[in-house]
């Protein structure tokens, strides 16, 4: 199987690349390395993974990669993922997440790709809702440009399926965490907390810390992405745990994993951030039925694994 992973040098993408290589796929990566790291692909490069440096907003560059690689399957993970950036610069967010996705869809169509798997978002699309855990049929009410752009990109997947017969699926991720997530980045409170713990800092909590998220371990997520690539189901599918965890509970999990005593690693509280929802938890019934998948790693075990992968310098 010839696979192309956009954003393949990033946190999720590089974990996916490793799994695809391990099962014997021929893998190429398209990444502009703005947030991804070539070092994430060291093991994969030794197995002859081809890295193309390019921006998905550049239609010509994307087309050239597809013409060269002619992938059977496309895993589209490259994106603008910072909620704060999407609030401050919504047009920039849309150019990356909507126009960039269209460029990748066009590349897949021209190359005759069999399957297109899109990384979308659960909580950011649904927004505030009374239905928790939230199923895919819930009316979207994004609270920031990030969720809106991802939802719009999902609609283009459906368009390409209707117009061109391209088999597509959108996976609506919960809050992903695990090894290789940048502790200095926006997209991962667990990685940030683990980095702070190792460096002797304190965790910053925005709001009262009682807001909840559905935290999904990256290894479980990769299993779901590969299952979606092998399936022929379409539409949108939630990928999460169906379990709510508060920010304060995360701090307890990090403290426990690191063997800290009472009074250590106490939070500093700050004003709540615009565009963030109070509760987010995904109904994963469709993932079980359509993909035969469910999560295996609970938050405390996942935090332990994540903390073990962090170095003091990180």
Of 126, 146, 156, 215, the active-site residue reads 146
Q: In this predicted structure, what is the pLDDT of residue 166?
A: 98
CB atoms within 10 A of CB 137: 9
Continuous segment of H or E residues that includes residue 303: helix 299-309
Per-residue model confidence (pLDDT) at position 273? 82
β-pair type (2-6, 26-31): parallel
Burial class of residue 163 (count of CB atoms within 10 Å of its CB; 0-12, 13-18, 19+): exposed
Active site residue 92: no
Q: What pLDDT is recorded for position 314?
A: 42
List strand residue ranges (DSSP E) for the chain, in order: 2-6, 26-31, 50-53, 73-76, 115-121, 167-173, 175-177, 204-206, 212-213, 215-217, 236-239, 245-246, 268-270
Domains parsed from the chain with CATH numbers: 2-176+216-242+284-291 (3.40.50.720), 178-211+244-281+299-309 (3.90.25.10)
Q: Which residues of the chain have pLDDT under 50?
A: 313-314
Q: Residue 261: CB partners within 8 Å, gap ≥ 6? A: none
CA-to-CA distance for 63 and 41, rounded, in angstroms? Answer: 23
pLDDT tens, residue by residue, 234-248: 999 999 999 999 999
């Amino acid at each position: 199987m010839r696979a192309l992973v956009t954003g393949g040098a990033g946190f999720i993408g590089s974990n996916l690349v490793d799994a695809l290589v391990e099962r014997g796929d021929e893998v190429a990566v398209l990444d502009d390395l703005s947030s991804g790291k070539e070092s994430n692909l060291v093991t994969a490069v030794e197995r002859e993974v081809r890295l193309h440096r390019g921006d998905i907003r550049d239609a010509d560059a994307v087309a050239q990669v597809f013409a060269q690689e002619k992938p059977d399957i496309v895993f589209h993970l490259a994106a603008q993922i910072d909620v704060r950036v999407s609030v401050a610069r919504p047009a920039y967010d849309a150019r990356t997440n909507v126009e960039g996705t269209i460029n990748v869809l066009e590349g897949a169509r021209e190359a005759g790709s069999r399957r297109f798997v899109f990384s979308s978002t659960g909580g950011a699309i649904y927004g505030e809702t009374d239905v928790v855990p939230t199923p895919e049929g819930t009316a979207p009410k994004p609270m920031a440009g990030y969720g809106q752009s991802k939802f719009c990109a999902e609609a283009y997947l459906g368009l390409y399926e209707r117009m061109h017969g391209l088999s597509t699926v959108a996976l609506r991720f919960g809050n992903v965490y695990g090894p290789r997530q940048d502790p200095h980045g926006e997209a991962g409170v667990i990685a940030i907390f683990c980095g702070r713990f190792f460096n002797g800092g304190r965790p910053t909590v925005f709001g009262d810390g009682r807001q909840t998220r559905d935290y999904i371990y990256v290894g479980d997520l990769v299993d779901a992405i590969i299952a979606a690539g092998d399936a022929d189901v379409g539409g949108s599918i939630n990928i999460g745990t169906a379990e709510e965890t508060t920010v304060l509970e995360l701090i307890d999990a990090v403290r426990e994993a690191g063997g800290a005593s009472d009074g250590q690693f106490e939070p500093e509280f700050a004003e709540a951030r615009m565009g963030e929802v109070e509760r987010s938890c995904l109904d994963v019934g469709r993932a079980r039925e359509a993909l035969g998948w469910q999560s295996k790693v609970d938050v405390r075990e996942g935090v332990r694994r994540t903390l073990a992968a962090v170095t003091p310098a990180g």
